[in-house]
Structure formats: structure tokens, C-alpha cells
Structure 1
């Protein structure tokens, strides 16, 4: 079986949209490659006293519409190609919702589950120092991603600030409220997923209340999405995490499943449901499927088995181009990642704006602003897809790429 390469998939998606737009080869040459790829190898002193050398990445794909923006992830499987793909998707994601950022992404190859809090802090601070040559509040603003959180962002912000000699809260987003974080940031990704799914359901005439929802992944995006969709009157029929999955056609209470995961480390052993694999969660009978795990989960091998009417990508890159074609022909409405999960970067943008002006908004204001942006973006993407008789992913990519291409043409090439 061919190994999945997220960067090849990202480029394939780009070329498909570029073909439809009639983009020149010169413009493709600029947009298909990252602007910068920084690879750092740095020492970490373990609690045992031993020294271990780790490798980290920070990739800036494009900055023609504004500073680079994107998360930092920790994991044993982080690769440069993965980070390059995610940086490219971030460029399109920021453009599709109309916020003035370019795309970036970062990561460190490590296993955070086997690291102490002290080791995580020392690693984060050293990694921040290594990439401080390209990050900054007006150049590249990191945020949390897989296996990173608000505490990691606090360490990054503090480290950068120590180098500058004064506090620079706007250098990262996703921080704790006590040091310049924003209301609504923790729930932002899932809230954005809810807004665009509600819009999509209305477009195809499907009531949201009573809809059966299956969620792959029970991290921040997946667990919060479960709570939000449940509060909208949806029936959450399946969950999964890295240990396995759970299915109950009568519905599951997300709060009870969350409590079980906190106590036992997994959702798979929750007693009130049928134990299934984390990939089976994609194929159970449901109306709305929310992949909220990692890339490449939905392929030509399982796309035909998916039963959902709406697939809302809370994860980045969960569906391959081959699967996209199958789902489109089946009549499944796929809300692509660069639109569906853009709530996170949108509220990150709100946080950055608030930090720069030292004036903060309340939760209701954040939610309202987010809903306006997500609804406007969904309508623009849906109209583009209708105009070109294509799926929403192609419509979203065309909209985003045309905006980045326009900025590139207007700015020109220096010198």
C-alpha cells in the first residue's frame, strides 16, 4: 500500500483548483512551494540528566496577505512534508474566511506522553528560541495544535518576551486569559464547525435537531463539537479516540463520555455502547460525520461505506482527493477543512487584534463576530461551487487561491 503523503495531497488539491481557475504557470510556481522551511536540531536535558537531540520544524507557506499563522504540534510522527502541507492549508484557510494572514505550521518530533512537565517546558522554551529568528507578532504567530495547549503557548510567549526584554502577548495565540488570551478560543474550532454545518444543513433542507452525529477523535475539537452538537438537539451516536471507538444508535451523553475518558484514559471502554474501531466510527449510520483526528482517514478504500449526508472536516486533511470524488458522486456534502475548522484561526485572529490594541471583547461579542465570518465564508464557497458545478472543497480552494493570487499580483515581485 502506498504511503500517504499529505504534502503531495495538498499540492494535488492546489493544482486541481489552479486548473479550474486557469492560473498561469508563473503564479503556480510561486504558490505551490513554501516561502520558508526552517529545520532545527536542538538538545534537551532530560530529568535523568541525559541529553537528547530533537528535531523541529517551522514552515511559512505564504505571507502575501499578512503575517504567517499556524499551529505547533508535538508528536512522534511529525514530518516535514506534513508540516509543509498544513502550512499550505493554513494559507488557503485564512484566505477563505478573509482574515489578513498567510499560512504557517510547526512541529517537534517527540512523544509528549512519555515526557514530564519539566521536560515539555524545557523543550518548548528551547524550540521557541530556535525558531525565534522567524516568529514574531508581525511576522509569524504560532498557536496550539495536536498535543500542545494554552500552557505551551504561555511558555512560548514568555520565552520570546524574555529575549525582547518586555512582554509580547501577540507573538502567539491560544494563550491563557491571564496573559492576553481571548474569550471563546478553546471552543472556537468546534463552534465554527457547528456554524457551517448548520448552514449546510439548511442549504440541503435537513433539520439539525435530531440529526445523528458520529465524531472521530475526542481531542479539543472533537469533544467540544460533541457537546455543542448535543446542545443543539443532535444525537451523538459514535465517538472514538486513539484507543478505539464507541457506538450507540440510541445516542450518547458527551458529558458522561468525557468524564469516563478523564477517569479511564479512553472513550472505548465506556460501558453504555458497542465497542468498535476508530475507523469504524467513520462508517456507522449517521447524518453528520465529523472527522476530528488526523490526516488521510477517509480514502478510496472506505469512502463508499460512509453513510453521512454531511461530512464536516474538523481535522486537517482527513479526506484524500480519491475519496472526495466518491463522496461527491454519492451526494455527500463535504465541508472542507479550510472552511469547516477555520473557527480556530478566526478567533486566533481576534485574540491577536485584541492583544495588539490591549482592548478585549466579551464571549458574546466573539461568538457573534465568528458566526458572521463563518456564515459569510460558507455562502461564498457554496456559491462558487454552484457556479462551477463542483464540490465545496474545489470551490473553497478556488476562492482562497484566487484571493492569494490577487494579493501576489498586486504586490508584485521584489526586487
Structure 2
């Protein structure tokens, strides 16, 4: 039966409602039972916890934490944990929803999950962050596990924080449990290549797609919003491949240089001084080069070939979509373009390559780490990157093929591809037609 209805939810909030609308167009092309659609109405489980933390000055602060496991039909939940002031149940539920489709799109044996704590991590000391991270695991330990729900780094969390979380879970369970968390330090069972996985996956997708438009790196200009772990590494990889990276930004603002930025020098300068400046470095000597200081909002509207939002969600909306000049947008952040802006960009002939494909390198190498933890056999960086490249290229080509065959956007094609896999898994447990027609 060809489903024509969207996936409803009984209590829609703004971000989640917007996330859900992405499925509407895809569902017109997917044969999915009403049973399967019904099971996608609700998250499998949602948890809201309070985390009391004794601060360095002796005071007690209580933080709000969340974990949502949206679907586990294809395997245990999988998703990151973010530390950010804007974390809410609405945001976490939306991100878990997206993760469900991302894992299906990349054909990973996982469902979608996500977690987070509402705070500004820059205001906490390292000791306070450790107590907070361990307190979060204390609160959710019965909700997660290597066969239930596996954590990973996300916005403002890193390998060290993941190591604390894995260690705390192991203490609670009284056994070493490395597979409960991915993105850990390598010496604690982490995978080679995990830190660079999201950026490398995005690069493999970009390198697969751009030749279809007869673009060559040396003649292609790039602007990247977000110069953190993912955006900074991706900028470096693109620069090394010959792309002309003319603009980057972080939470404090951005830099633009028409002649192109020297990305390795910029990354070195930021690592040493915790601030960005357009420089050219030789060894320890860095000289400032000609550039303009721009805002994050200005970066989005630059006249470049490729725009890469690699920061937070809802950066391109109906308010600024008409000002976007880039010809190709690769979503490295989760949900950087809302559904209203999607329609405007599509009408203007701008190609948007969706987050559930482009940033899937992180969860793919998280899967590799989980497999290595469970088998006790560990791979070198070359093997990790080769397997990541094979997976990203294969699913990018599959999504491109669906888009061309059905004459739909890459976002719709990605959701169609994921929905087909999800529908098959959901229906395998039995449908209305199966039970009515059974003998």
C-alpha cells in the first residue's frame, strides 16, 4: 500500500514539527504500512533527569539532562550527547528522530537516539565538567547500555568526556564496558579516526558529488560556518585537496579573504591563542594577512560555490534563504536549514545535500568503534578511513541515483532511501495485513 500521509505526533513542538515535515515529500514515494507509520509517531523512550553538581566554590548547581531513544527496530539506539545552553527535550527528540533516519540511510545496525545537558560548558572548570559528566551517567545508567543505547560526542563534548562517561558506567556495572560509549580516547578503547570521522565522511561525500557538476577543487570557493572539531578538520582536508577556502567562522565571528585562507596556519594560531585571525605561519612565526572580519550571518550569504553550515541548527531560515548566493550547500551540522528555507532554496535552483547523509561519517566510525570494542580486534587508521570511504561513497551514489530516478531533491531522496529500510525492518515484526491474511 502506498502511504500518502505524513508521520504524525500527538504533541508537536516547533523544532520536532519542522523535522517531521521533511518526511512528507518522501512518503509519497515509499510503500510503507500504516503499522510502520504508526510506530514512528512516538519516540520509543524519553528521559529527563536533574543532575546535582558540587561546584568548585562549594555551592550546589542542578543541571537538566535528557536522553531520547526514538527507535530501536534496526538495533540499539545510537546518538551523541551535547552540552549547550539551548539543549531541550524538543531539540533532543528532534535530533534522535534525525539519527533514526541517518543510521538507516547508512545501513547501520542502530536506531536513533540523542542526549544532552542544558548548560554553557565554558563556564565550568574541568573538575566540574567531570563531576557533571559522571552525574549524568549516574542518572541514566539504567537507560543505556552496549545493547540498548550507545553514547557518542556531540556539540561541546569530546573524547575526554566520553572517557569519563564510559568509566562511570563501568563503575556502576562493576565491569569494563567500553562499547557503551564511542568517541573515547584511543587508549580507553576508542577507534582510530573517530575524531576526524564526521569531517572525513563529509569530504568523501563532497568528492563524490562535485564531479557530477563538472567542478574541480582548484576552481571551487568554499565558506564554512563553524570552525570547531568538525568544521576545522573539514576546512583543512578541503584546503589540502586544493579547494579555495575563503571564509570560516566560530561562535565569536568569522574571517573572509578573497584570495583564500591558509587553513593550517589558522588552525595552529587558534589552538595556541584560542582566537581566530587570518595568518600565514612558518614554524612558530605567524604574520597577519589581508582579510575582512565578518559575522556568522554574513558568512552564510557570501558569493561562493560551496557553503558548509557546520555549527548549529536553524542557521538558514525563511528570513535569510533569499540572500544565499552559494550554488551548493552541504549540511555538516544537524538541521542547519529549516523546512521553509528548503523550499525557497530549491525554487532558486540551489542544491542542498542533507545532514543525514553528509555528516554521517561520525556515526559510521562510531559503529566501527562499537564493533571493535565487542570483538576485541582493533583496526589501524588506514583501514578505518578506507571502510568509511566505501560506506559514504556507496550510500551517496545510492541517494543520488534515487534522486535522479524520481526527480526529487537530495534530501527527499535520502529520506526515501532511509524509509525503505526502516519500513522493511518495522514490517518484519508483523503488520495488519499479515495477521488478517494468516493461516
TM range (shorter): over 0.9
After superposition, the C-alpha distances for 1:259-301 in whole angstroms (9 at most, x for unaligned) are 3323443326765310111111111121111100000111122
Is structure 2 residue 227 aligned with structure 1 residue 257?
no
Distance 1:385 1:129 in 2: 45
- Aligned counterpart, 2:229: 220
Distance (Å, rounded) in 2 between the aligned partners of 1:46 and 1:269: 37
1:199-214 superposed matches below 5 A: 199-214=208-223
Q: Do the aligned partners of 1:195 and 1:374 also contact (CA within 8 Å) in 2?
A: yes
Equivalents in 1 of 2:316, 2:34: separation in Å?
A: 31
Equivalent of 1:313, from 305, 327, 331? 331
Structure 2 counterpart of 1:298, from 316, 334, 358:
316
Instruction: Name the structure 2 match of 1:411.
Output: 429
Q: Structure 2: any 5+ residue segments left out of the alignment?
A: 1-12, 280-287
CA distance in 1, matches of 2:74, 2:19: 20
In the alignment, which residue of structure 2 is the partner of 1:362?
Answer: 380
Query: Which shifted more, 388-397 or 10-19?
Result: 10-19
Structure with bigger gyration radius: 2
Instruction: Give secondary structure in 2 for the equivalent of 1:314.
Output: coil
How many residue pairs match? The answer is: 412
Q: Secondary structure at the match of 1:90?
A: helix
Partner residue in 2 for 1:285: 303
Partner of 1:85: 94
Aligned match of 1:70 in 71, 76, 79?
79
Aligned-residue offset at 1:332: 2.0
Q: Is contact 2:134–2:165 with CA below 8 Å preserved after alignment?
A: yes
1:334 positional shift: 1.2
**How far apart are 1:320 and its partner, in Å?**
1.1
1:322 to 2:331 alignment:
no
How far 1:316 moved relative to its partner? 0.2
Aligned CA RMSD, in angstroms, stands at 1.8
> Contact 2:33–2:427 (CA<8 Å) still a contact in 1?
no
Partner of 2:148: 139
Distance in structure 1 (CA, Å) of the matches to 2:204 and 2:324: 22
Contact 1:243 1:268 in 2 (8 A): no
Secondary structure of the 1:103 match is strand
* Uncovered stretches (5+) of structure 1, i.e. residues with no partner: none
TM-score (normalised: structure 2): 0.91
TM (norm. structure 1) is 0.96
Kept in 2: contact 1:6–1:295 (CA 8 A): no
Q: Aligned to 2:114, what secondary structure does the other structure show?
A: strand
Query: Is the counterpart of residue 381 in structure 1 residue 390 in structure 2?
Result: no
Superposition deviation, residue 31 in structure 1: 1.1
Q: Distance in 2 between the 1:322 and 1:205 partners?
A: 29
1:133-172 Cα offsets, whole Å, 9 max, x none, are 1111111100000010000000010001111212111110
Between 39-48 and 152-161, report the one with greater CA deviation.
39-48
Q: Does 1:397 align with 2:406?
A: no
Asked whether the 8 Å contact 1:18–1:28 carries over to 2, the reply is no
Partner of 2:173: 164
Whole-angstrom distance in 1 between the partners of 2:274 and 2:156 = 15
User: Which digits, 9 at most, give the CA deviation of each residue in 1:35-59, with x for residues without a partner?
Assistant: 1110001211111111111110000
Does 2:188 correspond to 1:179? yes
> 2: distance between equivalents of 1:257 and 1:32?
45
Report SS of the residue matched to 1:411: coil
Partner of 2:284: none
Q: Does 1:244 align with 2:253?
A: yes
User: CA separation in 1, counterparts of 2:278 and 2:384?
Assistant: 36
Question: What is the alpha-carbon distance in structure 2 between the residues aligned to residue 398 and residue 33 of structure 1?
Answer: 20
Secondary structure of the residue aligned to 1:132 is helix
Cα separation, 1, equivalents of 2:105 and 2:171: 35
Of 37, 40, 43, 2:46 maps to: 37
CA contact under 8 A between 1:190 and 1:221: conserved in structure 2?
yes
Distance 2:392 2:39 in 1: 28
Q: Residue 25 of structure 1: CA displacement? A: 4.3
Native 8 Å contact 2:162 2:184 kept in 1: yes
